[in-house]
Amino acid sequence: MTNPGPQSMRYSVDEVLSGMLASITRDDFTDDIERLGALFKGLSQAYPLLAPYAAIAGETDFSAVLRDALQKLADKKWLRHEPGRYFLTKEGRAACVGSKRVIFNASDIEQLEAAARYLDAQVGT
């Protein structure tokens, strides 16, 4: 029997985030971490692929978890952070698209793309 929670997740938060970023149309988005955390929490309730991340954040907000994932992507140079905005680099988009194709199965990709459409519409300002 596997333990519930973070140990049983198939993907890390930064992997899921990169899969979503591979599917968004914009190259930049807000760095309002509280807003992003609330959006991600809502997405975790709507898409089973994202549901395990509720175990990490519990009933609190997802801001800290998301901040760490964004920082990992920035450390890889997939994202650039400037005051007020995150920018998906050209290399970052290519890496996100490539990892999405390799890491995720077809049903996971459907969920990522649906979540990305929602995120894309919400994070512009």
Q: What is the pLDDT of residues 26-75, one digit of tens each?
A: 999 999 998 888 888 888 888 888 876 665 656 566 788 888 899 999 99
CB of 65 closer than 8 Å to CB of 56: yes
1.10.3470, 1.10.10, 1.10.3910, 1.25.40: CATH of 13-120? 1.10.10
Q: What is the pLDDT of residues 99-120, one digit of tens each?
A: 999 999 999 999 999 999 988 8
Residue whose structure tokens are 């650039």: 80
